[in-house]
Each structure stands twice: as C-alpha cells, then as structure tokens.
Amino acid sequence: MAGGSYISKNLTPSQLDLMLMLDEYEMDIFTLDDVKKLVPDREQEVNEIIENLAHKKILSRIERGKYCRANFRDEKVIGCFLVPDGAIAYWSALNLHGLTEQFPNTIFIQTTKIKKDKKVFGVSYKFVTIAKTKREGISKEGYGNHSYSMTDVEKTIVDCFDLPKYSGGYAELIRAFSQAKLSSQAMIRYCKAVNNIAATKRLGFLAELLVKPGMKTFIRYAKQQVKEAYNPFDPQGPDTGDYDREWRLRLNISKDELLGIANKVY
C-alpha cells in the first residue's frame, strides 16, 4: 500500500506519519516494540496511534502487541509471528514441500514455547511444543518482513514419524516418505535430535523396504538403534501382524500393503 493511497482526511498527521514510516521500512507485520524502536522520542504516543489505526481498519490487531496491515493475510508469516521461534512444520510443511496434495485446515507451528492453539483472521493454528534439543533443520523462506521459518524436508519427515498424529494420516506420510529426496546424514542428525527409537526403526525399515536411494548409511545407523522391545509399525494401528525380528517391529501394515501405499498414484 503506497503512502499516497491513504485518505489523509481520515488520518491525523501523526497517524499518517506512522503509516508512511511503515511504508518506508516495508513493514507489513510488526510488534508495538518494533515501531517504538523506530520512534523512541514518541514512544508514549505509539500505542494510541496504532490502536486508532486499527479502529479505522487500516491496521489489524493479530493479538496483544502484534499488528499487521489490514490487507496482509499471509497465514505462514502470521503463524510464525505468533511465537518467537515458530516454524511451519508437520502436515503443513509436508504440503509446502510438495509431498502431499492434502491441505490441512490447520496450520501446524512447531515451537519450544507453550502457546494455546488459536484462530486468527479465520485461520486455525496448532502450536506443537518441542524440547529445545529437537529444534533442528529450520530454514528461512520468503524475504524481508514476509519471511517465515519452516522445517526442511528431512526434519519434516522425521518430525511426522515422531508425532504422526500431526502428519495427516499414516498412509499419506508413507507416500510422502516414498517421494521425498532425502539425505542420509540429515536423517541421522535429526533422528538423533528427536531421539525416538521407535520412529527411527520405522524410518529405517521403510527406507530398506522401498530400496530408497542414498539411504544405506541411514539404514545402517537405524539398525544400530534397534533394541529388544518390539513396536507396532503403525503406532495408532491394531495389535496384529507379523513380527520382523531384524527391526523389532510388528507389521500391523504388511510389507505388501506398505509397497502398495507407497506406489499409489492419484
């Protein structure tokens, strides 16, 4: 929105000045503190000016202390802006990486902070809190004030196997794993960070079953993590199926079914 497009008769001089400053710094989304740092001599006025601009629907209030322009609605940027270290993850990241055509109704945000799920401008956000040691594989997307964080392909896959309830369904996750181009070294690094032996076994077993290119080093690493205890292949599936002794997995989805799921094309 260019400065000249503001209807100045609707704005006080101080409101117009603030909007022109936002133009100059190309700020579409910001906190009160961001603005106060730019005008330290007018810090006291800033709250009132911004509240009045929000009342006039020139700015929109996202939540306390956080605002954006009335026409700014990028849900990825807004979602990551809601928590200091927010990153698009799980099903949402699978979709953005082109690994699933299914589009979640909720945007999944991974964070080390505790944040209640919320709806902003009609979009639902689910905040998944992780330990700081699990925060790996985050890349920056977009540019400038429109940038946001997202888990990279390998971290997205590992995260989804770690917490499959946020992945959009196990069949969809198996297909995503089958399609994804993965680095063994990145997979090992993220499995170590997430520290979920059952998830690592499932990933290693699947990589071996699908004869996934470039995964030999990862498969070797995953086999070294196998302990005596058995785990079901699908953690939310039935307590049935053959036992795979090498991987200590109970195949409640058979090998044939897994190959069928992985190769299914829509």
Most confident of 3-17, 90-104, 184-198: 184-198
Q: Are 79 and 63 in contact (CB under 8 A)?
A: no
The percent of residues above 90 in pLDDT, for the chain, comes to: 88
- Every domain of the chain and the residues it spans: 8-69, 76-263
d(CA 255, CA 244): 10
Give the sheet arrangement for strand 148-151, strand by strand. 118-120, 123-129, 106-111, 87-88, 148-151, 138-141
Report strand pairing: 123-129 vs 118-120. Answer: antiparallel
Asked if residue 179 has pLDDT above 50, the reply is: yes
pLDDT interval class at 6 (50, 70, 90): low
Mean pLDDT value of segment 139-145: 92
Give first-to-last CA distance, the chain, whole Å. Answer: 41
Examine the pLDDT at 166 and tell me if it is beyond 80.
Answer: yes
3-state SS, residue 29? strand
- Residue 7, pLDDT > 80, answer no
Whole-number pLDDT of residue 253? 96
pLDDT in tens, 26-81: 999 999 999 999 988 888 899 999 999 999 999 999 999 999 999 999 999 999 99
At 1, the pLDDT band (50, 70, 90 cuts) reads very low
Give 3's DSSP letter: G
Percent of the chain whose pLDDT exceeds 70: 96
pLDDT over 70 (residue 128): yes
Distance CA 72, CA 67 (A): 10
Q: Which residues pair with 141 in a beta bridge?
A: 148
Res 9 pLDDT > 90: no
CATH topology of domain 8-69: Arc Repressor Mutant, subunit A (1.10.10)
